[in-house]
Structure 1
Amino acid sequence: MLETVTAHPPRLVPAPEDIQPGYELLLEQRQVRGAPVRLFTFPSGSEDVARTVVCLPGLGASGRSFAPMAPLASELRLQLWTPTLSTPLTHTPLQWNVAALSHPDAQLPERFALLGSSFGSLVSLAFTLAYPERVRALVLVSPVASVHRVRRWALSLSTLVRMPKPFAYLFAPSVARVLGGRDLPPEGRAEIVREARRLSPLELLRRLKDVLDADYLEALEQLRVPTLLVHGARDTLVPLGYARDVARRIPGARLEVLREASHLPYMSHPQAFNAFVGDFLVQHFS
């Protein structure tokens, strides 16, 4: 199933509900532990299971936000995982997603690489600490390992995306601009806004609580998985100093800083991001 672009007259800023050019991806919906999970893949992408990379998006984004990683799809089997829009109340969203990734319903190979952005980095860390034997390599983008180093005002700002209409339409593009930085293209901004509006206020608050409760800093020294961190120097949510601290705590970790990027470097600066991530992952799949 291919999600396609809705035809509309040209405009300066695309409507958030549209799927933008460059973000058209194949969609598969899997039932994992009784809940629907959307999995996006690239048309004509690699089908080599041994080179699988599972990409986990940020707080209110979908796997489609990783569409600018398309140049890597010929060499890597990129699986753009989107957590279910509503996790069961029996688990926190973090707990549910870790359990879902490890469940046979997920249909993931025995070993794969993980790439997590923001909230997705929190899920990636929790999964890797629980199942280190399944993770071949780890990429953390704008890492969240402890809320003590995340700017709470930015977390509060992100909740504006969920305000009722017409306030959401007034504030959501500004929130996306803050997260994406000045170089985030209009198509990327529309993608973030459109997907965030699909998430219920309850689910957003539950994911925010996971972020606020997180504290994995001391556990990072246990990681023995090849790890790359990619961080935007202009990130207003997660300070650069925090990414450096996380990198220092993970044995052998490497940190690459994109000076002009903000919280979503794979969307705003895909060429530099893909160069770092592609070289790292190909090396660890060889």
Structure 2
Amino acid sequence: MTGYEPHGTGTPLVLVPGLAATGRFFAPVAGELAAGHRVVTVELPRHGPATVRRAAQELADVVDRLDLRGAVLLGWSLGATVAYEYLDRFGAGRISALVSVEQSPRLTVGPGWPHAAFGGLDPAGVERLRTTALTDPAAFADSLVRGSFAAGTEPDEALVAELTAEALRWSPEACATLFADAAGLDFRAGLAAVTVPTLLVHGARSRVYPTDVGRWLAGTVPGAELRVFADSGHLPFVEQPDDFVRTVTDFIARSVSHA
């Protein structure tokens, strides 16, 4: 069962972390966001074989169990992929808005598609990463965390160690199977049919998504707003937490009806 932790009152704001991440990654912003919203941090399945479909089903179970209505769905990285799957499968009946943070609708390169993870992830790269996640989870976690900070920066080693320890709470099998499953999916057509207000948050110095995928998304998702954080990589809520809270809070205030 997917874990979840609610805080605060107001418009429900569901936070979905990414691959090899836990709700602890959102710690720099969760408290501030909970000052005006009912923040529900959802944990993705971290044990056994994991798929995007399973994660979306467990997310739906949490939304239903808490009877959330008019919720804002905020997914970061692979958590955004899970949010895309949720909307595709379950619709927007309980969702009032989407915040997609640092994600691409397709993780691998293809004809006419330059916005793959790391700028050029191909099937061979997927297999290498999947194998590393299984055989050397410590190296996989350390590389994933370090590579998430903005290009050209030296992250605080204590923070790297803390986030890497969180990443190692995932079983190698769950990490490998969820990544491989996500790498085979393509949400480009589905995102073109999204009907809820959407905010796209990207880091200008991201090494995970170094291409201008945010602009592609802004031109594809109907009415989407794009915010690029100049000093962030793949972790804008860690690298520019005050700006992140302000951006998300303002978007919700403008986009979600409180009637």
Please list, as runs of the form range in 1=range in 2, the aligned pairs for 1:50-65 lying within 5 A after superposition.
51-65=11-25
CA distance in 1, matches of 2:134, 2:229: 29
Cα offsets for 1:205-252 (capped at 9, x unmatched): 111112211101122111111000010011111134112111210000
8 A Cα contact 2:130 2:177, kept in partner: no
8 A Cα contact 2:192 2:221, kept in partner: yes
TM-score of the pair, normalised by structure 1: 0.75
Q: For residue 45 of structure 2, what is the amino acid of its counterpart? A: T
8 A Cα contact 1:66 1:267, kept in partner: yes
CA distance in 2, matches of 1:172, 1:120: 17
In the other structure, the counterpart of 2:112 is none
Q: For residue 123 of structure 1, what is the amino acid of its counterpart? A: V
Q: For residue 133 of structure 1, what is the amino acid of its counterpart? A: G
In the other structure, the counterpart of 2:113 is none
Q: Does 1:262 align with 2:233?
A: yes
In the other structure, the counterpart of 1:114 is 73
CA distance in 2, matches of 1:64, 1:86: 17
Q: State which of 24, 33, 53 in structure 2 corresponds to 1:95.
A: 53
Cα offsets for 1:19-71 (capped at 9, x unmatched): xxxxxxxxxxxxxxxx2x22234xxx4233xx111100010000121111121
Q: Does 1:202 align with 2:173?
A: yes
Cα pair distance change 1:159/1:172, threshold 3 Å: farther
Q: RCO greater where, 1 or 2, for CA within 8 Å and sep 6 or more?
A: 2
In the other structure, the counterpart of 1:222 is 193
CA distance in 1, matches of 2:134, 2:96: 36
CA distance in 1, matches of 2:133, 2:205: 21
Please list, as runs of the form range in 1=range in 2, the aligned pairs for 1:15-94 lying within 5 A after superposition.
35=1, 37-41=2-6, 45-48=7-10, 51-69=11-29, 70-86=31-47, 93-94=51-52
Cα pair distance change 1:47/1:213, threshold 3 Å: same
Cα pair distance change 1:158/1:259, threshold 3 Å: farther
CA distance in 2, matches of 1:282, 1:201: 39
Q: Does 1:128 align with 2:90?
A: no
Gaps of 5+ in 2: 110-115
Please list, as runs of the form range in 1=range in 2, the aligned pairs for 1:180-199 lying within 5 A after superposition.
180-181=149-150, 182=153, 184-199=155-170
TM-score of the pair, normalised by structure 2: 0.83
Cα pair distance change 1:205/1:173, threshold 3 Å: closer
CA distance in 2, matches of 1:199, 1:212: 18
Gaps of 5+ in 1: 1-34
Instruction: Give 1:263 shift.
Output: 0.6
8 A Cα contact 1:56 1:115, kept in partner: yes
Cα offsets for 1:54-110 (capped at 9, x unmatched): 1000100001211111212110111111112125x5xx5211121122236642413
* Identity over aligned pairs, percent: 29
CA distance in 2, matches of 1:185, 1:267: 11
8 A Cα contact 1:161 1:196, kept in partner: no
Q: State which of 226, 243, 246 in structure 2 corresponds to 1:272.
A: 243
CA distance in 2, matches of 1:223, 1:110: 18
Task: Tell me the secondary structure at the aligned position of residue 75 of structure 2.
Answer: strand
Instruction: Give 1:284 shift.
Output: 2.8
CA distance in 2, matches of 1:158, 1:268: 27
8 A Cα contact 1:60 1:192, kept in partner: no
Cα pair distance change 1:150/1:205, threshold 3 Å: same
Instruction: Report the count of equivalent residues.
Output: 240
Q: For residue 72 of structure 2, what is the amino acid of its counterpart? A: A
- Give the superposed CA RMSD: 2.5
Task: Tell me the secondary structure at the aligned position of residue 128 of structure 1.
Answer: helix
Q: For residue 5 of structure 2, what is the amino acid of its counterpart? A: F
